[in-house]
Amino acid sequence: MSGRRAVFLLLGLVIALSYLAPAAQVETDPGAQWLSWSAGEKSTHVAAFIDGYLAGTTEVCQAADHFVKGGNISSRGDPLETNSSASAACCTRGGDYSRQDSGKAWVDFSACVNIITEFYTQHPDDRAVSFRKLPLSLRDGACSSEGQLYQEVLRGELR
């Protein structure tokens, strides 16, 4: 019976490792994963990231009004201007994604998709940088090209 048990344990280990090996490969080379995706998959990822970012920013900024009404001051230590709400100031500082073309029936995320794709294509040694982080660097007032993303990597701001 112990021989049979060992065979089952070994078989279970082999099966478990076969499931873990592809996942480990994906985590160590997100750039290769990104480049393997279709344009639709890339666009869906960027759209989901931006939707989540904007929803989270809105929720946090709305909470800022309640924080300031309690007599607190802004996170920088400066009193907020009396003619603007805390949420308006927060949303202004949060950044937006106005480069997305919304002149059609749907929002076109190709600007971000193209920059991320070009980054991974032009800088294969930096494919370990997670595509989950790159859209954050593409908000208004931040990076607007793969070269600027690469400069953030060189400065250690993206890993």
Confidence band, pLDDT 50/70/90 cuts, at residue 140: confident
Give the model confidence (pLDDT) of 80-130 as tens digits. 444 457 777 676 666 677 665 555 556 778 888 999 999 999 999 999 999
99/91 Cα distance (integer angstroms): 17
Torsion on CA atoms 42, 43, 47, 53, rounded to nearest 10? 40
Other residues' Cβ atoms within 10 Å of the Cβ of residue 51? 12
Of the CA atoms within 13 Å of residue 67, those in its CB half-sphere come to 15
Tokens of 67: 């924080």
Give the model confidence (pLDDT) of 11-40 as tens digits. 444 454 454 444 444 456 899 999 999 999
The residue with tokens 């908000």 is 139
- Mean pLDDT to the nearest integer, 125-146: 87
The residue with tokens 């080379």 is 29
Q: Which pTM value belongs to this model?
A: 0.66
- Residue 8 confidence (pLDDT) above 50: no
Tokens of 6: 């060992």
Contact 91, 84 (CB under 8 A): no
CB burial string 32-49: b at 16+ within 10 A, e below: ebbbeeeeeebbebbbeb
